[in-house]
Amino acid sequence: MITAEVKKIIEENAVAFATSDKNRNPHCIAVGDVKVVSKNQILIGDVYLRKTIENIKRNNNVALAVWSRDWKKRCVGYQLKGKAQHFTSGKWYEKIKKIHKGFLPKGAILVTISKLIKLG
């Protein structure tokens, strides 16, 4: 599902990460230090994601969007939909601590992708 091209775009650009709150209102943030860890899984560090984590605990359906930075040369993007899990210990948390630059993350969010849509 996640090809080498999609992986490159995800890992080299900011990613829009959307959840919904208890009233089903959308909540969207930009995240960095996103890593593809398998053909259908993405790992994200939880640094300042309090509202996002609250939303995931109530409803783990999430969406992400990412696009290439070079709009003039080649505009391509992807929407990814899936389910998120939050970890504050264990394998995924240890992995994100090694990946994350700057602040020590409070946790790791593992998103298992069920649908990938090419944009543009």
What are the pLDDT digits (tens) for 50-88? 999 999 999 999 999 999 877 666 678 999 999 999 999
The DSSP code for 83 is E
Q: How many Cβ atoms sit within 10 Å of the Cβ of residue 8? A: 12
> How many Å apart are CA 39 and CA 44, to the nearest integer?
15
Rounded distance between C-alpha atoms, residue 97 and residue 40, angstroms: 21
pLDDT for the residue numbered 103: 78
Query: How many C-beta atoms surround the C-beta of residue 91 within 10 A?
Result: 10
9, amino acid identity: I
How far apart are alpha carbons 96 and 34 in whole angstroms? 9
Domains of the chain, with CATH numbers? 4-119 (2.30.110.10)
